Structure 1
Amino acid sequence: MKILFDRNSNAAILLAGILAIIIGVGVARFAFTSLLPFMLEDSLSLTYAGVLASFNFVGYLSGAIFAIFIKDINTKVKYFRIGIVLSILTTLVLATTTNETLWLLSRVVAGFGSAMVLIVGAAIVMVKLSVEDKTKAMGIHFSGIGFAIAVSELISQAVLKEGTWSDAWLVLSIFGFVISLYCIYILSFDKVLKKDAPKHKLSLSIFSPYVILLIFAYFTEGVGFVVQGTFLPDIINSLEGLEGYGSIGWLVVGLAGIPSSILWMRLAHTFGSVNIIMIAMALQVMGILIPTLTTNVYLNLLSGALYGSTFIGLVALFMHLGGKLAGGNPVVLMGAMTAAYGVGQVGAPLYSVALIEYFGNYNTTLYLTAFIVFLGILFLAYAKKLETRG
């Protein structure tokens, strides 16, 4: 037990990192997906839900790009703590008011907080860990995204048995506050670190046709991630005979996501990053299309499993490949990749709600989303062709 309160223990660092992701990604982001069907039943319109999701990703995108330029590790600790606080306070807003302007503002701020916790938090974990193979350890850290979905879903469903969705937001914010104390204590340094950040010249020479295709492919994955990430429980609930199965489907997403980044990174090491990214995206396309083809409960739960087991791994795979290609100039490429993914995240909920309102179901949205992700696979196939020629 003592080891879990030692700031320099690898076990404590990984545990604090996973708990931080549960706050920044589970409580502040994915609990919205979990509670959305219940909020829609009450007073929330689907169009407004799509706008809220889009605003959340605007905040995340701005935070993700901002995070790339924070060089000093002590400043990173400060912004990580700010992210934790913002994640909890913005959840409290959803619990205590129904003012639409406050909700929109809180979703933007929550997105920024999520980026600070996920991206800046990962950098702190990486610096603090004292292991030779940090890639494997970071795979364990990012399993926190799967835990974030599963834990926030279990808490939400437990509260909803007796209470309302606003009660669930309140319990989630209290839970986030309690575990945040441990995260803030462990993910800090005993003394101020003096570490000069390497300076790299701003160069656009890295943007070869191969890299541009990779960025376009990552944009399509941003679209593929966000549609199911926002609507999957409601998609399942909307199918005939599957009312109420959405929450189980969302729990399956979280459980499938826990080991995914570790497994995909190992496969990429053996078979090559681009090959494995293409396979993961193909599985994601299958998962997106399942609800349009069948109302079979097991196949639709498989849709959740395919989504959970691919979207987390794909972020890790793209970022790992981008890092390798960037060499000594990571900021420019990481910024471009993050922006492309973010544009996909911001735009997808907006076209989704427009198509759902027009056609009265999710099918057209899912067809378009699957087609966009499939385009990403084609971009990567062409990138491979260019690489072979090169």
Structure 2
Amino acid sequence: MGVGRFVYTPILPLMHTQAGLSAGSGANLATANYVGYLVGALAGILAPALVRSRTVLRGSLLMLTATLAAMPLTHSAAMWGVLRLVAGAASALVFVVAASSLLHHLRGHPPQLPGWAIGGVGAGIALSGLLLLGLRSVADWRGAWWASAALTVLLTVGSWNLRPEAAASVSGEKSESTAPRTHRWFGALFASYFLEGIGYIVAGTFLVAAIDQQSPGWVGVGAWVLVGLAAVPSPALWARLGRRWSRPGLLLAALVVQAAGIALPALIGGTAAALISAVLFGGTFLGVSMITLATGAHLRFPRSVALLTAGYSVGQILGPVAVAPLLHHGYRQALSAAALVVLAAAAAAAVLRIGFPHHMVVVRHTATPRQRESTQDARPATAGPDALAPHSAN
């Protein structure tokens, strides 16, 4: 997913210079990808069986690869838009299925395991940047797309046998327990993740361009690679920090650090600020996603992964549109606005801390021994503040 969704960022300059893609069309292709991501997330909400389907996972992996391979086969901006829209939908389905699988199958295991898995998105970002650095002198924009498709083939083989989330026993769950009401905490969590989607995507879209305006040419692409490299270990690192801090506190800290990273190129500028910004941004955006999704699972809110991903997707669509008027004056104002939005997301995370139910309580009803046995494996872990592992806030 990291390659299939994010390789467009380093390929975009080549398409501008070699394929005749205008700046406006390039922005439209990015928006098409974000819209597709929302479509995929909504599909996971409206048809939850998709999230538990291995066929859907494998089909999405193949579709994502196919869209990359098909990009060089046309010069039509409209067709490119369709391909990026499909790629976005496939990316969302892959992420929702994989994240739900992690939250389900790795419950009770060390939280570093799902952290390293989600860090694979960062590895894809880094690989996409390194791929373009290596191909810049030997291949054109077509070769870049085909090379990225070949890379996704290899990664698809590695992820082919991932087991989606198992279906829960609905009758047993209803007969034995009633989940506590967590709507107010989930509402604050949803608002925080929605705002993060706006701020994160503005930085993710324009950070390299902003750096290019102020620093030598290699710094922009180098910073993109650094974003990916920093993102690889970040979810596992945030998971380790969760052994000491509560999940809402972690989310607040990650968002504040991310806001500082986004603001650096806008407020200071220069190569050093650009590279520090890349590390801070790359080291937090996947951690924020993991903490948020784990919090939704801990609250046991129905279809939390798909709902949170959908809100995040809407934020991604709105972000570039909201800052478009600021781009006439360069990228600094856009990055400053993005940093302020991420700070607003941190404020929502601070609200989440008020009375947060770290230890969930399940109200039990009378059930037969057979019903208790059937629900034992389906029910989320209730001990400790982490839905993924005991004694961890992730």
TM-score, length of structure 1 as denominator length: 0.81
Task: Within 5 Å, give how 1:120-199 maps onto structure 2.
Answer: 120-124=97-101, 133=109, 135-184=111-160, 186-187=161-162, 198=170
TM superposition score normalised by structure 2: 0.81
Describe the shift of the 1:182–1:373 C-alpha distance in structure 2 as closer, same or farther (beyond 3 A): closer
Query: Once superposed, what is the RMSD of the aligned Cα atoms?
Result: 2.9
Instruction: Give 1:69 deviation, angstroms.
Output: 5.6
Shift of 1:218: 1.0
Q: 1:175 to 1:213 in 2, by over 3 A?
A: closer
Q: Tell me which residue corresponds to 2:311.
A: 340
DSSP 3-state at the match of 2:254: helix
Paired with 1:167 and 1:276, the residues of 2 have a C-alpha distance of: 42
Residue of structure 1 in register with 2:348 after alignment: 379
Contact 1:224 1:369 in 2 (8 A): yes
Partner residue in 2 for 1:225 = 200
Counterparts of 2:179 and 2:80, CA distance in 1: 40
Give the fraction of aligned pairs with identical amino acids, expressed as a percent: 28
Are the equivalent residues in 2 in contact too, given 1:92–1:173 (CA < 8 A)?
A: yes
Residue of structure 2 in register with 1:13 after alignment: none
Q: Which letter maps to 1:152?
A: S
Secondary structure (helix, strand or coil) at the match of 1:271 reads: coil
Measure the CA separation in 1 of the matches of 2:239 and 2:135: 36
Amino acid at match of 1:167: G
Aligned match of 1:251: 225
The reply on whether 1:63 has 2:28 as its aligned counterpart is no
Which letter does structure 1 place at the counterpart of 2:140? Answer: T
Q: How does 1:1-390 map to 2 (within 5 A)?
A: 24-26=1-3, 28-42=4-18, 43-68=20-45, 76-124=53-101, 133=109, 135-184=111-160, 186-187=161-162, 198=170, 206-208=182-184, 210-239=185-214, 241-325=215-299, 327=300, 329-331=301-303, 333-356=304-327, 358-359=328-329, 361-385=330-354
The separation in 1 between residues aligned to 2:260 and 2:142, in whole angstroms, is 34
CA distance in 2, matches of 1:68, 1:376: 23
> Which amino acid in the other structure matches residue 90 of structure 2?
G
State the 1:125 CA deviation: 6.0
AA matched with 2:218: G
Gaps spanning 5+ residues in structure 1: where?
Answer: 1-23
When residues 223 and 35 of structure 1 are mapped into structure 2, their CA distance, relative to the original with a 3 A threshold, is same
| SS of structure 1 residue aligned to 2:7 | helix
Paired with 1:375 and 1:127, the residues of 2 have a C-alpha distance of 31
Question: Is the CA contact 1:261–1:313 (under 8 Å) kept in the aligned structure 2?
Answer: yes
* 2:112 and 2:236 in contact (8 A); partners too: yes
Are the aligned partners of 1:237 and 1:246 in contact in 2 as well (CA < 8 Å)? yes
Mean CA deviation greater in 120-129 or 87-96: 120-129
Aligned length: 352
| Conserved? CA contact 2:2–2:122, under 8 Å | no
1:177 maps to amino acid: V
Give distance in 2, aligned partners of 1:238 and 1:349. 18
Which sits farther off after the overlay, 277-286 or 290-299?
290-299
Q: Structure 2 regions of 5+ residues with no counterpart?
A: 358-394
How big is each residue's C-alpha offset from its partner over 1:71-125, in whole Å with a ceiling of 9 and x where there is no partner? 5589611001111111111112222222111111111100111122222134456
CA distance in 1, matches of 2:36, 2:241: 32
Once residues 114 and 274 of structure 1 are traced to their aligned partners in structure 2, the CA distance between those partners, rounded to angstroms, is: 27
Query: Per-residue CA shift, 1:283-309, capped at 9, x if unaligned?
Result: 111111111123321221111111100
Stretch of structure 1 that moved more, 369-378 or 30-39:
30-39
